[in-house]
Structure 1
């Protein structure tokens, strides 16, 4: 019973802290903010986490779970890897960024900007996640190439990176402006671009 209560307390801290970090940023969120958001004492929080940084790492993992639940929805049922990439990019731009799952429109890109030059440890964690996503795009493109779905002679690694950069560029602009044209236009242009890669 005590262990179950501890899990619920930890879950509450992570969820409330994730909301604070996504709205205010990491450095503008104080332990007192977390105390007020959770209704716990500092002792109750430190009984679950050693530091604010440790809370952030747990919040990051929760943000990844939320991101995955949104962006991979409906992709596993698609056998054609090109169509799968199309669904993935639509999910990211429309159902994650456009739907404002996080108040600013995104979590990872704003965090990367905030930590750049300040925390190598946290920057590396986000960068490795980005690298893993770019590698996934590459694997799906290679799957398409191996199936004879793409034109010959394409640099798949560069294409994967270009799609990844386009998605993050759209994310950054949308976070800054909240203009829905950004993600809407990016969906259409990425769809057009990917269609140009197909074997005629």
Structure 2
């Protein structure tokens, strides 16, 4: 890794929690320079603008979440248990977030849906990736004869994502786990229903 690449990575890692907690609009260049100890000129010498930092940070945060999911899934052999990783992992993230600020997909989606097209594209790509991961798990489960053959797997995957993110949103906004637990109960029921 070159010195410039190391500096870029340093900026990303130091500002990732700030962007995830405060959002794009709430994170200032002063926040970035304070977190990194770099000057504004140094930051902009490595990134063209705040947008570039935010886009790189989103990729970083989503990558951390994806790695965590993959690691937890690898601990299970059964398809149903792999899918239920999302339920337990997001419950853990609410109580003791591995990422400050919580889920970067939810946080960024809520902020950028009408205000920042480039971040919106990143979030859409992250959701597509998450959707594809669920589909891959389901297809492997079908090959192993652990999952029913006939159900709409694409619809299932979108519904699972919506329940998880909706539950997280309810927990964050209300400060209570009641809505999250209700959403996870429905998600678990959905997962159990596709098992053979």
Same fold (TM over 0.5): yes
Q: In the alignment, what sits opposite 1:193?
A: 190
Which of 114, 118, 128 is matched with 2:115 structurally?
118
Q: In the alignment, what sits opposite 1:10?
A: 8
Comparing both structures, which one devotes a greater share of its residues to helix? 2
Which of 176, 180, 183 is matched with 2:177 structurally?
180
Mapped pair 1:64 → 2:62: yes
Q: In the alignment, what sits opposite 2:26?
A: 28
TM-superposed CA distance for 1:152, in Å, is 4.8
Hey, what's the Cα distance between the residues in 2 that align with 1:171 and 1:105?
9
TM-superposed CA distance for 1:140, in Å, is 1.6
Hey, what's the Cα distance between the residues in 1 that align with 2:75 and 2:91?
19
Hey, what's the Cα distance between the residues in 2 that align with 1:198 and 1:69?
25
Hey, what's the Cα distance between the residues in 2 that align with 1:179 and 1:55?
33
**CA-to-partner distance for each residue in 1:142-182, whole Å, 9 max, x for gaps?**
22233332335322221111111111111221222232344
Check the 8 A contact 1:109/1:168 in 2, yes or no. Answer: yes
Check the 8 A contact 1:67/1:96 in 2, yes or no. Answer: no
TM (norm. structure 1) is: 0.85
Q: State the aligned residue count.
A: 196
Q: In the alignment, what sits opposite 1:83?
A: 81
TM (norm. structure 2) is: 0.87
Q: Which moved more, 1:166-175 or 1:48-57?
A: 166-175
Backbone CA RMSD of aligned residues:
2.3
Query: What SS is found at the alignment partner of 1:103?
Result: coil
Q: Which has the larger radius of gyration?
A: 1
Mapped pair 1:137 → 2:134: yes
TM-superposed CA distance for 1:89, in Å, is 3.1
Check the 8 A contact 1:23/1:104 in 2, yes or no. Answer: yes
Check the 8 A contact 1:71/1:95 in 2, yes or no. Answer: no
Identify unmatched segments of 5+ residues in structure 2: none
Q: In the alignment, what sits opposite 2:50?
A: 52
Identify unmatched segments of 5+ residues in structure 1: none
Which of 98, 102, 106 is matched with 1:109 structurally?
106
Distance 1:7 1:13, change over 3 A: same
Check the 8 A contact 2:14/2:36 in 1, yes or no. Answer: yes
